[in-house]
Chain A
Amino acid sequence: MASIEKDHVSGQMTTGHEWDGIKELNTPLPRWWVYVFWATVIWAIAYWVAYPSWPTISDYSRGMFGWSSRGTLENDLADQKKSRSAWVSKLDGATLDEIVADKALFNYAMVGGKVAFNENCAACHGAGGVGAKGAYPNLTDDVWLWGGTLGDIQQTIAHGVRNDDPMSRNSQMPKFGADGILTADQIGAVADYVMSLNAKAPAAGTPGEAVFAENCVVCHGEGGVGNKDVGAPPLNTPIRTFTSGRDGVVAQATNPKHGSMPSWGQRLDATTIKMLTVYVHSLGGGQ
């Protein structure tokens, strides 16, 4: 049993509610506070009307303003394209050497090249051009199969390696072992010789040297320096695209592996290829 009464301690009125002898003081909320609550409700309803909000079975309510996040993105992309166009035309008009010489243009190409690299190249060559051991060449060292100058890199990116593009890089290493050109002993001997080239101490006068001179020098060059025109890697270094060590040399001479790469000129525009060239050239091994 309770009635609205004055609480003697606080001097406040009670609400008339009582639970097991506990009474509730009435502390009225300012009315404007309630109005603020209603204002937020009205705001929410206005929001439903103005912006996309309600799902329907196959669609959603579009809202009076016709706003969409995709539309915002499209506007942003258009703005970005516009702001890029000045740079793009500058890049188009400049040679690779001019781009590298112009600090502002170089920075732009580096950023653009990095983005394009991560989108297109990193799948095989790895983030930052680290490569993949046994499969795809490392682009950060100074060993280049097809040349490491700006022009060489541009050519390789634009036309690729061993593909349908008539201008693609192409070469084929004979299957010295599988096709019976050399015997297993001869291959073992030449592998020993290549390992001595690795160690920068050519084993002169060995049987391997003779085999190397007869069969390998034509592509890999005197002393195994390599030849970028035919994509023949240098052999006087420990760096290998495929398996390394003596076993690796034996395997490659017996039944060689060949890498291949798409012709990016068919997929990317010339400006992007320019930026990619500058970026790849900067990764550390550019010549």
Chain B
Amino acid sequence: MIELRNVDVTFQDGKQTVKAVRDVSLKVEKGDIYGIVGYSGAGKSTLVRTINLLQRPTSGSVIVGAQELSALPAKSLRTARKKIGMIFQYFNLMRARTVAGNIAYPLRKSGLSKKEINDKVDDLLELVGLVDKKHTYPSQLSGGQKQRVAIARALANDPEVLLCDEATSALDPKTTSSILELLKRLNKKLSLTIVIITHEMQVVKEICNKVAVMDDGEVVEQGDLVSLFTSPKEALTHEFIDTATHLDQALEKLRKHPTLLDLSVDDVLANITYVGVSTGTPLIASLYAQFGVTTNILYGNVEILQQTPVGNLIVVFSGEKRQREKAVSYLESNNIVVNQIQNTQTIVPIKQEKIS
């Protein structure tokens, strides 16, 4: 549905050259909800703007549907853009038009009669759940309602693709999840392909089936959500996932309060991640039964990603070194990822006191 081939975007600011996007290639299939995640300044907003050519790539090509957009003349590009909806962080509604006026804006010259346009606006309002706001002005709406109007407006020309540029970043958590619910529903109902740009892994976790992680203009890692979540390769991906699972907060807490750990020489702190079926089996219990290793759970979290449960635990394994190693390899043979967590400096003195 969408294909970016070796896209580069370079900004020339006086004598300074800024490479906002470096050699990005990616493919979004029809019906995907594709998340592009990265910190601010990573180039993700620039990247999503190349998809409808609001930002012309310095080199590389952009293909949407069967058309190579980057090769189209201005007029055909405008026609093509009508089939690519876009929503924004700050909604970008027109203040001088009512909700209905905003939604009808892209329908001029679409060949529909006045009545047909009116019916279409009603249908769209129904779809986003704002029927009673038809004649109000955007200034009287809440953030979530504004974004719903923006979504209705983006869908007016029945696009096949919807681009979301930080669409939930200005909304509170509750409104965010209701907008994400709406997007998920639209994806199913209209088989709409959605590309989501965000800095919140939470958003990606909730609705995307594929993810790309961006850093400094480059896509450093991409893949389907579950495998990216369970076996991330890049440090940055790790970081994002830890934020989403609140693992980073848990570790931070443990670091600040070393007494929570109270580790001895035979103890080791680890993070274990398990996916799908293995969630059901009581492995922790069998570690003691088989190897005499006790497992103390300090923090636990289970996420459902694309109907697949993914668990994350922070545990302390206690037992003799050899037995511990056996236990870990047993876990690994059951498709569980075990990562030892390095103890920080603050914990070391306490350990030494105990040893002496």
Chains A and B belong together in one complex: no
